[in-house]
Structure 1
Amino acid sequence: MARMEVVRGDITQLAVDAIVNAANNSLLGGGGVDGAIHRAAGKELLRACEKLHGCATGSAKATSGFDLPAKWIFHAVGPVWSGGSHGEADLLAGCYRRCMELAGEHNAKSIAFPAISTGIYRFPLQQAAEIAVHTVRQHLQSSDVDRVIFCCFDDATVEVYQKIV
């Protein structure tokens, strides 16, 4: 079974095959992780994302990593939290599922995820982390991915993920 680890750090600096971007539907950049990835990857990323014509919530699309150490960026569009009764959990799980599928399609053996939807989209951290770890763990059983990193922005997020992993 693949290794799952939790780190605190900057996802744009990780030397992995793929990093996951917590993107918005346009895929054209935004704040938080999305903005940081777009800045670090360089201007070619925006041009590549324009050609993808957006992405549905609960799914993900791939681009090259451009100027990043990662070969690939999987742009996952997580749900905005609306109280939990609007399918948010299923949509969030869909992001992680699709990223694991993309890892297979792009022969990525290592992948790093941020805490999708837990920033400005306000998804409750504990629930989001449980969905992330559970969904990834399910997919690892039939996957060639051998290393999964949950890259957290702060100590509180690290603590939550470490308890679940």
Structure 2
Amino acid sequence: MDTLKSLLKEMEQEAQTTEKMLSRIPDDKYQWKPHPKSMTIEQLSTHIAELPTWVTITLTTDGLDFAVTPYQPKKVADTAELLKFFEDSLADGYASLQKADINTFDQIWTLRNGDQILTERTRAEVIRMTYCQIVHHRAQLGVYLRLLDIPIPGSYGPSADELGL
């Protein structure tokens, strides 16, 4: 399987798991967080939902500078709005990846905050890093939901909740 087909397949597979996880968030828990240093469920879940758009950003720019383009998190009112935001982000990222030129995947992409370089990686590496970020933050959300006694779906097999444990 070539790189592009593999990345598209992985995006589809992770999207299914991500959608299941996001769909479990109760509308009345968006301001909850497990610790003062933690993000709220709203902040965490909207970040998860927006991450597929980072594929588009990676493929259409040479980098991102937070000093020039400050991060503006999306605000959502409820889980229906969150799922719509994720669906739109996924469609955007998937469409960009479908039409990507594989010959650009070795080009360097830079994430910075002004003069501070946060990371310099090839576009292919940034796309994989984006997928890893989705998985990482989705796992955090799973802990949030577990702490709230909300049954969580399995990611790569059944969860304890699905097994009735």
- Could you state the TM-score of these two structures normalised by the residue count of structure 1? 0.28
Which structure is higher in helix share?
2
Larger radius of gyration: 2
The structure that is strand-richer by fraction is: 1
**Could you tell me the TM-score, scaled by structure 2's length?**
0.28
